[in-house]
Amino acid sequence: MHPSRLSRRAGQMLVFSTLSLIFMFTVVGLSVDLGYSYFKKVQTQAAADAAAQAAALYATANGSVCGSGGVTCGSTYTCLSPPTTPPTTAMMEGCLYAKANGFVNTGSQTVTMIENNTTPPNETGNSPSFWVEATVTETVPSLFLYLAGFHSGSVASEAIAGITVVPSTSCIYILSPNAAQALTVTGGASLYSSGCGVYVNSSSTSAIYETGSAIISASGGGTINVHGTTNICSFSCTASPTPVTGAPTVTDPFATLPAPTIGTSCNSTNYSTPGSGSATISPGVYCGGITVGGTFSLTMNPGTYIMFGGGFNIGNSGIVTGAGVTIYLTGGTMGGTTYTSSGVQLSGSSYTYLTAPTSGTYQGVLFYQDRNVTYTTGNAQGGSAHITNSAGTSWTTGAWYFPTTSLSLSGAVAATKIALIVSTLSVTGSATFVQDSGGSYTGLAKSHSGLFQ
């Protein structure tokens, strides 16, 4: 073959080989860079998932109400670098989990969080009461494609975790397994539950007992369930809907609730107010309890109050107010002095305006009686049941948890979000209980958190 022809073919092969090599390196570069970007995508998604779930779990345990407990709904939170530790909000908790998965808000990485109680973005079919969105982004440098002008690319992942609340079907739990007349409504008394039901665990043949023109009503889809049977007067008494007898017993919904730490000394002893005036008190151990009478007005700061003997007694025209309050009733020996356990008396023409905490360990728990204590009906200072007496009116929210003692309601309980978990219940006044569908007022609803997207 002529030498010039060979030379031309060799030149063409060189061009084709060069173009092939460029194409091959471009394909290899694209594969490597896309593979690395995919690897980073997996990492950012794992970090976003962990951050959103951790924030939702924190909110489940510590509260998810906009405007309280560090919850700021609808505002983007940019994680600090390094994140705050220990965390005091759900957002801070999420940032820590993003860091644990290799992402902090610095350099080529950004981590942001947002929380709200509206419908989550781009979500259908789920209606959480609260949700958290985590966004994790990293700028990824190009390795092979840099020469082609593609210097870097951004990889971003988002995750949304939410809290779904399942309300309790009941707001009145009567736990005694065998007491006769475990639930008693007599005379012209009335017991109403709106949107929630009544459970009576007693196996007695008169587990529910009604006389006179008494009324028991569970409206709005509530049911009346009794493990034993009923003894309801034939003519003027009503129980609606008809009680379901032979129903299974239910467990104490607060059976695992821990008791408060008491300590070894009293913050106050035999606290008693004068006949008139006002005062503000703080949480602590009140040996000998608290007594308010006359026309005195007492304000209770938020927190846990331990009635170490003496009970909680509001009488005459006394007024007590407080938000975020839990009152624990117990007794024993402190500093060599024995303080007898006692209950709650709201009597006379007194008014009680107390609300339970809306987050934390004692979320929804207003009164909490020591499970190791039992009272016999009688004088408050000698060991009594828990009583709302006479014209005393209770405008409270929260659970009244007296699992081993009886509760007698002879005054008025206003239509607020209250739950009763008691050994036995006697009603001779008027009481109305309203379902707490969100659980923050009585602590009875169950919250579940999980990823939505």
pLDDT < 50 positions in the chain: 6, 377-384
Token pair listed for 157 = 């992942």
pLDDT computed for residue 7 by the predictor: 53
Compute the distance between CA of residue 215 and CA of residue 239 in angstroms, rounded to an integer. Answer: 6
pLDDT reported for residue 380: 35
pLDDT of residue 10: 52
- For residue 363, give the nearest of 325, 389, 328 by alpha carbon: 325
393-394 and 109-116 beta bridge pairing:
unpaired
Identify each DSSP E strand in 211-364 by its residue range: 215-219, 224-226, 230-232, 238-240, 244-245, 268-272, 278-281, 284-292, 297-300, 303-308, 312-314, 319-322, 325-330, 332-334, 337-339, 344-346, 351-354
Q: What is the DSSP string of 422-435?
A: EEEEEESSEEEEE-
| pLDDT score for 215 | 93
pLDDT tens for each residue of 344-374? 988 888 888 999 998 788 989 999 999 998 7
Strands (E), 29-151: 77-78, 109-116, 130-141
pLDDT, residue 382, reads 36
* Helices within 63-168 (DSSP H only): 90-100
Residue 450: its H or E element: strand 446-451
- Listed in sequence order, the residues at least 6 apart from 31 whose beta carbon sits closer than 8 Å to its beta carbon are none
Return the closest-CA partner of residue 359 out of 195, 163, 172: 163
Report pLDDT for 299.
98
The alpha carbon of residue 23 and the mean position of all alpha carbons in its chain are separated, in whole angstroms, by 61
CA-to-CA distance for 227 and 179, rounded, in angstroms?
A: 11
Sheet holding 393-394, edge to edge: 238-240, 215-219, 190-194, 430-434, 412-416, 393-394, 351-354, 319-322, 297-300, 278-281
Which residue type is seen at 90?
A
